[in-house]
Amino acid sequence: MTETVLLVGGGGREHAIARALADDADLYACAGNRNPGIAELSEGFETLDTTTPPAVVSYAEDVGADLAVIGPEAALEAGVADALDDAGIYTFGPQEAEARIETDKGFQRRFMEKEEVPGCPDFEEFRDAEAACEYIDDYDGDLAVKPAGLTGGKGVRVIGDQVTAEEAKAYIRDSDYDRIVLEERLIGEEFTIQAFVANGELRVTPAVQDHKRAYEDDEGPNTGGMGSYSDASLELPFMTEDEYHGAVDVLRAVVDALDGYKGVLYGQFMLTTEGIKVVEFNARFGDPEAMNTLPVLNTDFLDVLTAARDGEKLPKLAFQRQATVCKYAVPDGYPTDPEAGARVQIDTESAGDALLFYASVDERDDGIYTTTSRSFAVVGVADSITEAEDVAEDALQRTGSEGLRVRHDIGKPDLVQRRIDHMAELRD
């Protein structure tokens, strides 16, 4: 029997999920924007508000979904997994309470402390802006300022990196976040590991490094992520295999402490001279990181989903031993003042040897248009990071990214080497 799967979400991450499922399942999808890549792979595509649980459940029931997969965190926070589970549709994605590991950064840190999950930085949570500002004045060292709730990756301000202490205090006073977490600034190299989790087990995927800053050389404001790379091995060039496994141990400690978690658990780590620290956890695939991971997964994603649902052991994962480089094209002005409504002239054929993933674009009768978020990504898959980067750049030349902005430095030998040198210097 072919399984009918509903995919929730319409970004690049969800296009990657759709590709991983389309050959094996009857796929249906819903999202706020009509993503042409997902629509092409699906039997049906509905435009709806994915943070309204009854709308998603109603579509899932209409199409006879046996299973659902949720991409975006906002849907998890809105309780879409709870509503689908209640309707008898097994959903690969945590319920609202478990998703707090991502959606509430204060909860996340207290959880780590209480459950003795390794790698928790020094932190305090504040409801009062003035008390937070006083803490900044009195703290011996730099701090990261984090709104407790979801901000699409754009809410954090790191003192000594992006802002001064005075600017951080002004940010806290001028914003109306009801809770702020202040935590020690971690110094090192960041990496992501994503795990499939169900029935108390986890299956991990290769490490990926995302690039959050908007402009080349890591300048400018934080974004949802401008692009990312992974290597042919599980670890990245600036880290050891033991360090990779150390981070996996952190994820395992979370799974052991969170009874009944199902879905993807995403760990964002900082490799520091004091070991591996946790920058954050997410309750879903990363975007862009899903586009690095799913194309090299040889195991059928559907087999993971059905094993999760049926209470069976999750299959062991097999990966192509290849490197990947993902680069996003984003609207001019993104993330502070993005220009929506520009026509995007791309198609899958023109991407050459690279994979093309549509993201937050909207397909209308007369073409594909940008929204205020990231537009499309190209992913090169090859034997080395350098070769994968060449494939991705070649695709950008062919597709043209006029009116859009790309961080061309991602995955280039120079930048990859700088990360290695940075970590070597810190270790000295």
> What does the binding site for ligand GLY look like in residue numbers (CB under 6 A)?
153, 210, 225, 282, 286-289
Q: Is 186 or 305 the residue whose CB approaches ligand AMP more closely?
A: 186
How many alpha carbons fall within 13 Å on the CB side of residue 189? 25
DSSP-derived secondary structure letter, 374: -
Q: Is 102 or 235 the residue whose CB approaches ligand GLY more closely?
A: 102
Identity of the residue numbered 334: Y
**Which residue from 101, 317, 73, 279 is spatially nearest to 191, judged by alpha carbons?**
279
Identity of the residue numbered 306: T
- What the block records as the tokens of 10 is 């319409």
Distance CA 19, CA 353 (A): 16
Q: Which does 102 bind (CB under 5 to 8 A by kind): ligand AMP, ligand GLY, none?
A: none
Least distance from C-beta 347 to ligand GLY, angstroms?
26
Q: Which does 322 bind (CB under 5 to 8 A by kind): ligand AMP, ligand GLY, none?
A: none
Least distance from C-beta 15 to ligand GLY, angstroms?
14
Q: Which does 156 bind (CB under 5 to 8 A by kind): ligand GLY, ligand AMP, none?
A: ligand AMP
Least distance from C-beta 365 to ligand AMP, angstroms?
37
Distance CA 178, CA 131 (A): 13
Distance CA 21, CA 7 (A): 10
Q: Is 150 or 381 the residue whose CB approaches ligand AMP more closely?
A: 150
Q: Is 286 or 380 the residue whose CB approaches ligand GLY more closely?
A: 286
Q: Which does 42 bind (CB under 5 to 8 A by kind): ligand AMP, ligand GLY, none?
A: none
Q: Is 207 or 307 the residue whose CB approaches ligand GLY more closely?
A: 207
Q: Is 183 or 231 the residue whose CB approaches ligand AMP more closely?
A: 183
Q: Is 237 exposed, middle or buried (0-12, 13-18, 19+ CB in 10 A)?
A: middle
Could you tell me which residues come within 8 angstroms of residue 281 by beta carbon, excluding any fewer than 6 positions away? 101, 102, 108, 254, 265, 266, 267, 268
Least distance from C-beta 225 to ligand GLY, angstroms?
4
Q: Is 252 or 284 the residue whose CB approaches ligand GLY more closely?
A: 284
Q: Which does 289 bind (CB under 5 to 8 A by kind): ligand AMP, ligand GLY, none?
A: ligand GLY
Measure CA of the first residue to CA of the last residue in the chain; give whole Å.
58
Q: Which does 183 bind (CB under 5 to 8 A by kind): ligand AMP, ligand GLY, none?
A: ligand AMP
Count, residues in the chain: 428
Q: Which does 293 bind (CB under 5 to 8 A by kind): ligand GLY, ligand AMP, none?
A: none
Distance CA 166, CA 172 (A): 10
Q: Which does 121 bind (CB under 5 to 8 A by kind): ligand AMP, ligand GLY, none?
A: ligand AMP
Distance CA 84, CA 50 (A): 12
Residues in contact with ligand AMP by the rule CB under 6 A: 121, 144, 146, 153, 156, 158, 183, 185-186, 190, 212, 222, 268, 279-280
Could you tell me which residues come within 8 angstroms of residue 298 by beta carbon, excluding any fewer than 6 positions away? 318, 319, 320
Distance CA 88, CA 57 (A): 10
Q: Is 53 or 153 the residue whose CB approaches ligand AMP more closely?
A: 153
